[in-house]
Structure 1
Amino acid sequence: MACSSYGGVQDVPGSYGLPIIGAIADRYDYFVKKGVEPFFRKRMEKYKSTVFRVNMPPGPPISRDPRVIILLDAKSFPILFDTSKVDKKNVFTGVYTPSTKFTGGYRVLSYLDPSEENHSKLKNFCLHVLKANATKWLPEFERATGDLWAKLDQQFAKSGEAEFNRENLQMCFNFLCRSVLGRDPADPGHASLGTEGPSYVLKWIGLQLAPIVSTGVLPKLLEEITIHALPLPFLLVRGDYKKVYDFFWTYGKQALDSAEQQFGLKRDEACHNLVFNICFNAFGGMLIFFPALIQRIAAAGRQLHADLAEEIRGSIKENRGLNMRALEGMALLRSTVYEVLRIEPPVPFQYGHAKEDLVVESHDGKYAVKKGEMLGGYQPFATRDPKVFHYPDDFLPRRFMGEEGEKLLKYVLWSNGPETEQTTVHNKQCAGKHFVVMISRLLVAHLFVHYDSFEINPSTTTKVVFTSLHKATS
């Protein structure tokens, strides 16, 4: 596309190439030739712009339309949160939407625009579930992480290593089920999941996301001609999903009663949304973010470990336990969690269709966008914007401490909105925004109650393997 300017407003640079061929070529670059961040960086350098046109995976024949105007800086990215300007209908997974067969035939909350009638009902239901179980979060998380540390200690005693990711799977799933449903998934009963719940959920999530992610298991070229070229059918996980759904249907009575009586929702629709919110959003997010959190803290070294341990244990002692007052007294811990959310947001992409002709403004230009065009953003570039953050690619645990640090929180965007704004039924900001920050802080707090310091194997980037665990001495 030719680049022109009128009144300071320019055409968006970049080209989609030939129909079908251009999209396939971009997908090949994205998955095989370059990888995600080099894919965007090379184009940013080519067009000398953080705003440009590109085809986003998976492309034909799966995508409705792969053409996207991509936004890669802190100034342009926030338009994706403005629901007066962008439509968020069916853009949760970008230019491709999984079949509603994965969610009982319903479009669940994540795929709804706030203008749709059901959005308010479902988001209020989600907020209600979080609030109704608020008294369970801290004790159930302590119980679940207690099991986690015991298993890691056993592994380490046997082999001198302990894998966090595998034990984290069951810990997160147990915690969420016990807190929301009041039921351990392994308890005996006709709907019991045993210890298979996490594997059922991972397969269900994996099939939905397969066309737009790399498995890390199959050779890249094989992925291209299989899971990136055709949507995988729900039939492959229908039995597994039914087991999870039946568990939620059987033991989620209190939540489902409120969905019908307070929010006017159909019971089965509410149950499919409850499964999605807990298993896809909460559980899936924890599986991505918790290992990233551990990796960053491990790499920072023993001085940070000592400082966190001192702060955490001091606040617990002062407040007579690990309660919300104690947690609020841990400024370094809070800043550390926000810094990891900045660098490695668990959901890196955002999308929306322009509701009208728009002008998108970056640090370096203004660009004309036509009504109906798809806008998308890769969040790690926006939250590592060098024009906002000093040393943007460095992990600086104290970045958000103090008055100046607080001012930077508006550029932390992990929750589908600035950290300084609140989630409402009128926006798409994560209903569990405060919950996620809280349990992330709790994880690190419990970690340093149990250990003074730890090290991990730096060569295993896809999982966290502890190579040293130093038990707490004070």
Structure 2
Amino acid sequence: MASPSRVPKEVPGSYGFPYVSAIRDRLDFYYNQGQDKYFESRVEKYGSTVVRINVPPGPFMAHDPRVVAVLDAKSFPVLFDVTKVEKKDLFTGTYMPSTSLTGGYRVCSYLDPSEPTHAKVKQMLFSLLASRKDAFIPAFRTHFSSLLATVESQLVLSGKSDFNALNDATSFEFIGDAYFGVLPSASELGTTGPTKAAKWLIWQLHPLVTLGLPKILEEPLLHSFHLPPFLVSGDYKALHKYFSAAATKALDTAETLGLNREEACHNLLFATVFNSYGGLKVLLPGILSRIAGAGEKFHQRLATEIRAAVEDAGGKVTMAALEKMELTKSAVWEALRLDPPVKFQYGRAKTDLEIESHDAVFAVKKGEMLFGYQPCATKDPRVFGATAAEFVGDRFVGEEGSKLLQYVYWSNGRETESPSVGNKQCPGKNLVVLVGRLLVVELFLRYDTFTAGVGTDLLGTKVEFSAVTKATSGPEAVSNQQH
């Protein structure tokens, strides 16, 4: 591959007319073209993977929709470099939800690493994850084994089972159990937790989603003005009450780190409900849909690997057993490559920068907003070849496959790098991959194969089981025979 010229070029593209062009582009993004085509068409039009474009939500709600978009695997990582870009108040992009939705605090996701509270909150999260590391596998297996039993019952009754609906409830219970050892359903929340959490999430993300309503309704309702926070204040107070009681150990730790207990609680709520729960609402259906589409032969390969590793571990699912499942890990990474839970990243240039794509070097001025649409970068054919847009479950297997992991960016960093208090990489990066692998393990300890229909919902992929084939070998097969 030829090296690009080192002489910086002007970034191509156009923002058009103020307000009018931004609204037109927003309509293209949501309705006329859709996200992928919106960015692909601009790359094609300007002959460059670094372009000037408008991004939603645009005028009125946003301060400024104009960005420099980095849309290939080589230019995208500038967004991870906190020596070059500032991350203050950019988690959701060119707009920021009201802090009334987070107890009046700017929580960690909106803090730049240069702000002192950032390191304290992130260290609190690292401490929580470390203290609960032994709880994750048994909690997941308990809750998701029950979910799959419900899937089987629903298939018998109606011939279909909505995974997303079951996952929403199960993931909320699992997270409370795994993180704090306190089931949300056993608290005053009862079974209302997932509904309250989802409503609160929508209030923050509504400028970036569509509900399938006519655009004449959605545009003014969702994409032009902030929904008033007071409409979800009761839901948030109920969630906060649960965290105040359930997370006492984590909050004690936060105080030793110099954090105000109340600020720590709001941060913990956000990290747990927005980042973890919101992430699992997107992550697990995404993985399931890709595995379902890979077909029976690939299912057989997964089942063989998983059952052999568990058998070698004395019939138990352990971390050591999971580490032996190379194909399973690869399949999860491949799903994360194709369907990252968070598709957009942002950063504001701290100084005048030179950004390098595969083909050129571009000059960016201090203060300009940089934007990355991750699927363009992680489906870059210059890195992943002719199958870049396809699910190849064993893509990351072996020495050559492992070299490609540096181009998996779902965690707001490279998969080959680790989160720290000084960067913006997801503190739960390793836990997310673990949970994805555990889902695949549960499936293929229990089933030889399965089929499912795939569609879309508010936040991403929707999956509906249509059939499962019970395991004919391995520990679950023995259980099946006994029953």
* Band of TM-score, shorter chain: over 0.9
Q: What does residue range 17-96 of structure 1 map to in structure 2 within 5 Å?
A: 17-96=16-95
Q: What does residue range 115-130 of structure 1 map to in structure 2 within 5 Å?
A: 115-130=114-129
Q: Deviations over 1:190-227 (max 9, x none)?
A: x52111100100000011100122223x2233211221
Counterpart residue type for residue 430 of structure 2? H
**More displaced 10-residue stretch of structure 1: 437-446 or 175-184:** 175-184
| Aligned counterparts of 2:30 and 2:390: Cα–Cα separation in 1 | 26
Match of 1:3 in 2: none
Counterpart residue type for residue 355 of structure 1? K
Q: Check if 1:251 corresponds to 2:250.
A: no
| Aligned counterparts of 2:11 and 2:240: Cα–Cα separation in 1 | 45
Match of 1:296 in 2: 290
SS in 2 for 1:463: strand
Q: Return the offset for 1:421.
A: 0.8
Equivalent residues, number: 465
Match of 2:261 in 1: 267
| Aligned counterparts of 2:214 and 2:129: Cα–Cα separation in 1 | 41
| Aligned counterparts of 2:73 and 2:132: Cα–Cα separation in 1 | 35
Match of 2:381 in 1: 386
Q: What does residue range 18-417 of structure 1 map to in structure 2 within 5 Å?
A: 18-187=17-186, 191-216=187-212, 218-260=213-255, 262-320=256-314, 321-390=316-385, 391-417=387-413
Q: Check if 1:427 corresponds to 2:423.
A: yes
Of the candidates 447, 452, 460, which is equivalent to residue 443 of structure 2? Answer: 447
Kept in 1, the 8 Å contact 2:67–2:371? The answer is yes
Q: Return the offset for 1:7.
A: 6.9
Q: Return the offset for 1:132.
A: 0.9
When residues 30 and 299 of structure 1 are mapped into structure 2, their CA distance, relative to the original with a 3 A threshold, is same
Q: Deviations over 1:21-78 (max 9, x none)?
A: 2211211111121111111111111100001111111111110111100010001000
Q: Return the offset for 1:407.
A: 0.5
**More displaced 10-residue stretch of structure 1: 286-295 or 462-471:** 462-471
Kept in 2, the 8 Å contact 1:55–1:67? The answer is yes
| Aligned counterparts of 1:245 and 1:472: Cα–Cα separation in 2 | 42
Q: Deviations over 1:304-334 (max 9, x none)?
A: 1111011101100001110001100101001
Kept in 1, the 8 Å contact 2:11–2:51? The answer is yes
Stretches of structure 1 lacking an aligned partner (at least 5 in a row): 1-5
| Aligned counterparts of 1:180 and 1:339: Cα–Cα separation in 2 | 27
| Aligned counterparts of 1:212 and 1:168: Cα–Cα separation in 2 | 22
Counterpart residue type for residue 32 of structure 1? Y
Kept in 2, the 8 Å contact 1:161–1:465? The answer is yes
Q: Return the offset for 1:161.
A: 1.0
Stretches of structure 2 lacking an aligned partner (at least 5 in a row): 474-483
| Aligned counterparts of 2:188 and 2:137: Cα–Cα separation in 1 | 24
Kept in 2, the 8 Å contact 1:129–1:180? The answer is yes
| Aligned counterparts of 1:445 and 1:32: Cα–Cα separation in 2 | 38
| Aligned counterparts of 1:442 and 1:403: Cα–Cα separation in 2 | 23
Q: Return the offset for 1:460.
A: 6.5
Kept in 2, the 8 Å contact 1:32–1:221? The answer is no
Percent identity, aligned pairs only, is: 50
TM-score, length basis structure 2: 0.94
Q: Which runs of 4+ in 1 moved over 4 A?
A: 458-462
| Aligned counterparts of 2:201 and 2:282: Cα–Cα separation in 1 | 13
TM-score, length basis structure 1: 0.96
| Aligned counterparts of 1:235 and 1:354: Cα–Cα separation in 2 | 34
| Aligned counterparts of 1:472 and 1:131: Cα–Cα separation in 2 | 34
Kept in 2, the 8 Å contact 1:360–1:369? The answer is yes
Q: Deviations over 1:268-295 (max 9, x none)?
A: 1111111111110011111101011111
SS in 2 for 1:457: strand
SS in 2 for 1:70: strand
SS in 2 for 1:80: helix
| Aligned counterparts of 2:64 and 2:327: Cα–Cα separation in 1 | 44
| Aligned counterparts of 1:265 and 1:33: Cα–Cα separation in 2 | 47
| Aligned counterparts of 1:400 and 1:416: Cα–Cα separation in 2 | 19
**More displaced 10-residue stretch of structure 1: 206-215 or 326-335:** 206-215
Counterpart residue type for residue 268 of structure 1? E
Q: Deviations over 1:145-192 (max 9, x none)?
A: 1211121111111111111111111111111101122111111xxx52
Match of 1:464 in 2: 463
